[in-house]
A and B are shown apart, each in its own frame.
Chain A
Amino acid sequence: MMTNKFRIILILILLLALIGIIRMVRKRSIELKYVLSWIIVDVIVLIIVLIPGLLDGIAALMGVYSVMNMVFFLGFCFLLIITFTLTVALSHNSNKLRKMAQEIALSGAGKKNGENDRDGENSGN
């Protein structure tokens, strides 16, 4: 079970995180598409923390003895889902990047040589 003190600390952390995320989206430094999962997780955890009996209820429903075990388990699942989503997004992005780089290279093919080389400028890759 959670003490009230810990509950308040948790609520503060979750609210701060939520505000932080939303601010970043507002400033467009991150895409809403990719933080949607984080916002949902934040809100779900917030609801769980706010309603005292809820967690015990879910644990009993799922047949989990210890509430804390279930918290860890759910957290683990959320993280896996988010990481996997990122893997998929990364995959798509690298595909798009490849196509773009190839098109840029090929669009230089018709021109006179020399206009299309960019090496040396960005040596790290």
Chain B
Amino acid sequence: MKKLAIIPAYNEGENIKGTVCDILKNAPDFDYIVINDCSTDNTAQVCRENNFNYISHPVNLGIGNTVQTGYIYAYRNGYDIAVQVDGDGQHDTKYLHEMAEHLIKNNLDMVIGSRFIDKEGFQSSAVRRFGINYFTCLIKICTGKKITDPTSGLRMAGKRVIEKFAKEYPKDYPEPETVVTVLRKGYKVEEIPVIMRKRQGGVSSISPKKSIYYMIKVTLAILVDILRKRV
């Protein structure tokens, strides 16, 4: 069973080495690929010097497309499982095993690491939790399935979902939207409890100003998805 960790990186020169080493140590059965989204810092240099497995976009495409490049790579190289690990140190790679086991054992298509099942570790701010709850409700209404942490970036995809994502993936803020797409395809999605750390450096990509855009865009995307034909 071939397993891949996708590490999208934009200006992660400081964190990228830690993230890759973390995977090598905690999840040695996973291959990994760093997708450098045309960083302006030394991300590529760090990857080259350490002989990491990495590829670079010739132009900056944004997070959604960067992750998608990873899924295309996974699809073309015949991986059975692909997991997305953010480069900023929020995700603990020790969960990769548990997630993979859960996915294989229950024959699932997607496993999401949720902060809100055991409610342990970094719980995000009250405002963000409100937003997350809103998406949980929206997804429940649209698909009938309760996803406690629809914005979680720690997610593992099985073969069918890899194929789907390789073909089609949202440009920005993809998390809640893709959960709906996958659920509506009739694929099986489950969550397992994880503890996330507070981000170790840098700032969140979702500033207060952008969060309004985020809410509107993602809501519309979900509604549009529902208007699409069920396949």
The answer on a CB contact under 8 Å between A106 and B76 is yes
Size class of the A contact interface (CB-based, 8 Å): 10 to 19
The answer on a CB contact under 8 Å between B57 and A102 is yes
The answer on a CB contact under 8 Å between B60 and A125 is yes
Selecting from B39-47, B150-158, B204-212, the interface stretch reads B39-47
Residue of A nearest to B44 (CB): A117
Determine the chain B residues whose CB is within 8 A of the CB of A117 once the complex forms: 36, 44, 47-48, 54, 56
Within 8 A of A (CB), among B20-66: 33, 35-36, 38-40, 43-44, 47-48, 51-61, 65
Residue of B nearest to A108 (CB): B55
B72 at the binding interface (Cβ < 8 Å): yes
B93 at the binding interface (Cβ < 8 Å): no
Q: B214 to chain A: closest CB distance in Å?
A: 20
Residue of A nearest to B56 (CB): A117
The answer on a CB contact under 8 Å between B68 and A102 is yes
Contact partner of B56 among A108, A123, A125, CB < 8 A? A108
Contact partner of B55 among A98, A109, A120, A125, CB < 8 A? A109
**In the complex, A108 Cα to B53 Cα: how many Å?**
11
Residue of A nearest to B54 (CB): A113
The answer on a CB contact under 8 Å between A119 and B53 is no
A-to-B contact residues, CB < 8 Å: 97-98, 101-102, 104-106, 108-109, 113-114, 116-120, 122-123, 125
Can you list 14 residue pairs at the A/B interface with Cβ under 8 Å? A101-B58, A101-B61, A102-B72, A105-B35, A105-B57, A105-B58, A109-B33, A109-B55, A113-B48, A113-B53, A117-B36, A117-B54, A118-B58, A123-B40
